[in-house]
Structure 1
Amino acid sequence: MKDYNEIQCPDCGGKIFIDAKLLLQGSSFNCSNPDCGASVSLSQSSYQVANNAMEEFEKLKGK
């Protein structure tokens, strides 16, 4: 998996692999545990805040 970050599933503790760029485009990501069914996504009201944070992070990485 390229450019994916891993977070812990809030329901079962399994792994959820997230691509930040796709998350900002509205994608959702499912828990890797097939018995769980949990997914993670951003609410539309969070897109701009998250996008601004990612832009600032990219600027810092470039320094």
Structure 2
Amino acid sequence: MLARLAQKQQLKQLSSKRMFSSSRQAFSGHDGGIYSNLPFKVKDRKIPYAVPHFAFFSMFHSIFVSCC
């Protein structure tokens, strides 16, 4: 009875313990910083990002205005 109670208490302590070292090791390999989570390149581009951005939206705006 006491052994089962001690085992249950030990299991409860292990399950409630947070493991900070595993997440720190998993996330230590990437370059964190601004624009690191975007799927396209923003900095150090040959053509500035604003040019294709505004070209894309102005083209669809002109198509929308001409159709309506």
Q: TM-score, normalised by structure 1?
A: 0.30
Greater strand share, structure number: 1
Higher RCO structure (Cα 8 Å, ≥6 apart): 1
Greater helix share, structure number: 2
Q: Which has the larger radius of gyration?
A: 2
